[in-house]
Amino acid sequence: MSISVECPSCSVPVKVAASAKLGQTVSCTACKSNLEVVWLAPIELDILFDDDDEDTDDGLYEDVSENPYEDYQYVDDADNYDRD
């Protein structure tokens, strides 16, 4: 027996065995996404990403240096504040 679960990628119903196990993978016939069972009651699917997928490395941190404060110049201006 199978049940229909919504594909998280395209929202088309995907048939999943009612006896599905955590980590089980299925494919969406509409968008061809590889999906993983991530919850059992009710059954929930999530998109399965491979470790070598190119889209997981979006390059956001390529220009961040080892020391993010290397260009910061500390100015001690505590004497310029008026204390009451």
Query: What residue ranges define each of the domains in the chain, with the CATH number in brackets?
Result: 2-48 (2.20.28.160)
Q: What is the pLDDT of residue 10?
A: 96
Across residues 63-68, what is the average pLDDT? 64
Dihedral of alpha carbons 44, 19, 23, 34, sign: negative
Q: What is the pLDDT of residue 55?
A: 53
Task: Please check whether residue 37 is in contact with residue 45, taking contact to mean a CB–CB distance below 8 angstroms.
Answer: yes
Residues pairing with 27 in the sheet:
34
* Edge-to-edge strands, sheet with 25-27: 25-27, 34-40, 43-47
Across residues 61-82, what is the average pLDDT? 66
Per-residue pLDDT reduced to its tens digit, 38-62: 999 999 999 998 665 555 555 666 6
